[in-house]
Amino acid sequence: MEHPLIELYVSITDSQDHASAEQLLQTVDIDDVVVRTLHAAGIQQQVMLTVLITDDEGIREMNMQYRNQDKPTDVLSFPLLNKPLVEAPQDQLWVPQEDAEEQQAQHPDFITPPGMVQNLGDIVISWHTLLQQAQNAGHGPLYELIFLLAHGVLHLVGYDDQTEAGYRAMVGIQEQILRQSGQKV
């Protein structure tokens, strides 16, 4: 597998926090974390995705708009796939939305042309929540960043943590990626 095409953006209002996030991002190979996560999920094809590191206010607005929850969260994933790409037991995967058939009639599936890169979607991570969770768990921000990035990638390819089986599968892969990245689990 070639390295995925990753667009990385940092959009944090506070300039000091923005600089801190940029500094942490320079210490991790984002491509490597994504590739390892994709491989662990059995995904070998060339893909692309977008990662946005934002602040609590930015992710709170998205959480309200897309999930109707008026609070910040650690990570949001916005898959562009109509169905899971990963092959795993059904109880570990998200299911297409109920109105997908109705939407399908109005807007047929986008089919990635042969030879083109599959766009998995977008991952949004809150810098402030990342720092708070790292502090609460007693590990560093790098550990939390790798954990959340792997989590977001797993959601993009089809995993869902709303079931016990899905949660266990995701955490198992996330811990594997942490170990492969030199983090103690």
User: Known binding site for Zn(2+): residues?
Assistant: 151, 155, 161
Token pair recorded at residue 98: 């109920």
Calculated CA dihedral for residues 149, 152, 157, 159, nearest 10 degrees = 120
Binding residues: 151, 155, 161
CA dist., res. 123 & res. 8, Å (int): 10
Q: Do 50 and 80 touch, CB atoms closer than 8 A?
A: no
Tally the C-alpha atoms within 13 A of residue 83's C-alpha that lie toward its C-beta: 8
Tokens 């037991």 belong to 89
